[in-house]
Chains A and B, each alone.
Chain A
């Protein structure tokens, strides 16, 4: 149902590096799981509205008032790498 090719495509979308062994196992396991959960395709659902959220609330806005935010040193304190008061990352073009 899900082949190696698809697993590699989805892993790339999810930014996950998988070993060759993981790709095989994932193809097998995801196929088994999807095989089971695709039973919902038997249901007649054409006129049913989807539910993304159970609460009867929408467009909850907060007051547009200034309030304190985290100081930069606190926000950066847990970062693996910091440079010039910012998060340091490897080059996106490398």
Chain B
């Protein structure tokens, strides 16, 4: 068993293909670990792999997949971390999950998350917080906290999550794993329970950069069921590069290690990796992305506004919770939503409804959309001179459970380094960047739209140079 845990997902796939390992052996190893409750990472675990998907030749055959709860999976609880969807079993499966199943990856389980993906600590789940495997009194980050904790703890070989303002990259950083947010439109959103539709994007959470490339390669593609999906312009390649010769890295002064509020250990780890990048041949220079400093403000108007519309569908009529009050339809709506939604979801629905309401629309939502244009222009200009923009992923390491629950603004600051990229629609990866006080930190690499192959190659080179050892998170 410990032998299986030591393998990356790529290695596991190879050994299943060469019949050194059986699909059943791998599945049962991870199923038994996923069923353990200490981290509260899973909300549902499969008993056995679907019999017909053990097709031996499939590229991902025998490597079980953990799936964030907000992906609809036919007949399997899909609750998006919310009590308003308790017990909901959808009649269809999300395209991303269906594609991975067709590529051979059996569904291992559904992972806990912040309710409707709103949060950076996983404490907003209606099903209890997830714990960080590096220190169980600390948060795993969010909102894909269950997926990140499951991979870091060796409860799953790999996982998928979604990222709206950092929800793949930030928990990946806090748990010491790799997390990639693809270019907007690269992966179909069909069957993802929507948070902010112009920002939401699915992506991999994995132990290694090569695993992320392997998984992403089977997720991307135009889907007739999602009119905002586009064909990826080239195949996703498995990265092999181990140098950065000729690569130009821009360090934005607005998103640097000198940002107010960043922890010293995180800043130090970031600087050390910039030095490693130079040793690998990269040119590192300071740049300016002046509008990214306003990314959080724009994000916390746009995302709640879109959420307030998307979450209107939870009304006690077609699925999920209904609270009858004995009175009319309107009272039923209001009571169902009052009881079914948690505090953070209510806060964002209120913020979004306010930002869209008559008299405030232009000053709030309208202005935020213009800031979004300026942020995209900043990145566009940067990529004329630089291959990538690099930043720390999160300003802090994993913080203690409860530490920021009463301060929404402090919680929102967790997303400071990760919101500008989804606002611009561009891809970004977080890779493990060593420890600070015994806890993982992340290094973020962002590139132009559809530059995933180049990002993965650069991340692979840095990953080798950093030499991060994640085995402590998987013990025992």
Of A14, A40, A55, A60, the contact of B308 (CB 8 Å cutoff): A14
B409 touches A53 (CB 8 A): no
Residues in chain A within 8 A of chain B (CB atoms): 2, 6-7, 9-11, 13-18, 22, 26, 29-30, 32-34, 36-41, 43, 45, 48-55, 57, 60, 62, 70, 74-75, 77-81, 87, 89-94
Overall SS of chain B's interface: helix
Residue of A nearest to B91 (CB): A74
B329 touches A57 (CB 8 A): no
Q: Tell me if B371 is interfacial: C-beta within 8 Å of chain A.
A: yes
Stretch at the interface among B239-247, B263-271, B310-318, B459-467: B310-318
A2 to B364, CA, bound (A): 14
A-B interface, 9 closest residue pairs, ranked by CB to CB distance from nearest: A54-B425, A94-B328, A50-B369, A80-B322, A37-B297, A60-B227, A17-B338, A17-B334, A78-B319
Residues from chain A with a CB closer than 8 A to the CB of B327 are 90, 94
A45 to B377, CA, bound (A): 13
Q: B212-228: contact bitstring with A at CB < 8 Å (1 yes, 0 no)?
A: 00000000000010011
A34 to B424, CA, bound (A): 22
A94 touches B329 (CB 8 A): yes
Q: Which of B88, B324, B354, B424 has the most CB of A within 10 A?
A: B354
Q: Tell me if B385 is interfacial: C-beta within 8 Å of chain A.
A: no
B329 touches A90 (CB 8 A): yes
B335 touches A90 (CB 8 A): no
Residue of A nearest to B293 (CB): A39
Residue of B nearest to A50 (CB): B369
A90 touches B328 (CB 8 A): yes
Residue of A nearest to B373 (CB): A51
Of B228, B317, B347, the contact of A30 (CB 8 Å cutoff): B347
Residues from chain A with a CB closer than 8 A to the CB of B350 are 7, 10-11, 14, 16, 26, 30
Residue of B nearest to A55 (CB): B185
Q: Tell me if B63 is interfacial: C-beta within 8 Å of chain A.
A: no
Residues from chain A with a CB closer than 8 A to the CB of B374 are 43, 45, 48
A90 to B319, CA, bound (A): 15
Q: Tell me if B320 is interfacial: C-beta within 8 Å of chain A.
A: yes
B228 touches A55 (CB 8 A): yes
A37 touches B230 (CB 8 A): no
B409 touches A93 (CB 8 A): no
Residues from chain B with a CB closer than 8 A to the CB of A14 are 308, 337, 349-350, 353
A78 to B321, CA, bound (A): 10
Q: Tell me if B280 is interfacial: C-beta within 8 Å of chain A.
A: no
A16 touches B334 (CB 8 A): yes
B338 touches A36 (CB 8 A): no
Of B332, B335, B337, B370, the contact of A49 (CB 8 Å cutoff): B370
B294 touches A53 (CB 8 A): no
A33 touches B351 (CB 8 A): yes
A52 touches B198 (CB 8 A): yes
Q: Tell me if B128 is interfacial: C-beta within 8 Å of chain A.
A: no
B408 touches A29 (CB 8 A): yes
Of A9, A48, A53, A57, the contact of B370 (CB 8 Å cutoff): A48
Q: Tell me if B296 is interfacial: C-beta within 8 Å of chain A.
A: yes
Residues from chain B with a CB closer than 8 A to the CB of A57 are 185, 227-228, 230
A54 to B90, CA, bound (A): 30
Question: Distance (Å) between the CB of B151 and the closest chain A CB?
Answer: 28
Q: Tell me if B333 is interfacial: C-beta within 8 Å of chain A.
A: yes
Q: B430-457: contact bitstring with A at CB < 8 Å (1 yes, 0 no)?
A: 0000000000000000000100000000
